């Protein structure tokens, strides 16, 4: 969640989703590169990836381990929505 917050602060969270039709490939590539830079600068060197999606997937595997606490949190979020 901290990485997502960092990207929101830097207006780069759009790259976590799909590329929009309004955005050119060059713009998308630039934002993708800035996003990877922000993520890498905020992490240890043990997390590697070729793009934002693979980096975020690696982070999820490292930090979003299934536990009773996580399940309760997700159920609460589901009920609240």
Q: How many domains are contained in the chain?
A: 1
pLDDT at 37: 81
Average pLDDT over every residue of 63-76: 74
| Sequence-distant contacts of 38-44: CB under 8 A, at least 24 apart | 38/6, 38/7, 38/10, 38/12, 39/3, 39/6, 39/7, 42/2, 42/3, 42/6, 43/3
CB 55 within 8 A of CB 4: no
Q: Which domain holds residue 42?
A: 2-80
pLDDT tens readout for residues 11-54: 887 887 788 788 888 888 888 888 888 877 776 566 667 777 77
Predicted confidence at residue 41, as pLDDT, reads 77
**57 pLDDT band (50/70/90 cuts)?**
confident
The pLDDT score that the predictor gives to residue 47 is 66
């Amino acid at each position: 969640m901290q990485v997502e917050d960092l990207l929101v602060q830097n207006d780069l969270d759009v790259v976590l989703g799909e590329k929009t039709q309004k955005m050119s490939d060059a713009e998308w590539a630039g934002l993708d590169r800035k996003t990877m830079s922000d993520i890498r600068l905020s992490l240890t060197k043990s997390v590697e990836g070729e793009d934002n999606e693979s980096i975020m997937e690696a982070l999820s595997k490292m930090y979003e381990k299934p536990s009773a606490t996580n399940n309760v949190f997700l159920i609460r979020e589901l009920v609240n929505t």
